[in-house]
Amino acid sequence: MEKDDRVQIGEVAKTTGTSIDTIRYYEKLDLLEKPIRSEGRFRLYSREAVGKLRFIKKAQSLGLTLKEVKGIMQCSQQGLKPCCDLVRKLFTKKIEEFESKIKELQKMKKDLETLLSEWVSTKEAKKRSYAVCPQIEREPKRKRR
Looking at residue 130, the DSSP 8-state letter turns out to be: -
Least confident of 44-53, 75-84, 104-113, 136-145: 136-145
Looking at the DSSP bridge assignments, the partners of residue 44 are 8, 36
Alpha helices in 17-79 (DSSP H): 20-28, 47-61, 66-75
Residue 141 pLDDT grade (very low, low, confident, very high; cuts 50, 70, 90) = confident
Task: Report the CATH number of the 1-65 domain.
Answer: 1.10.1660.10
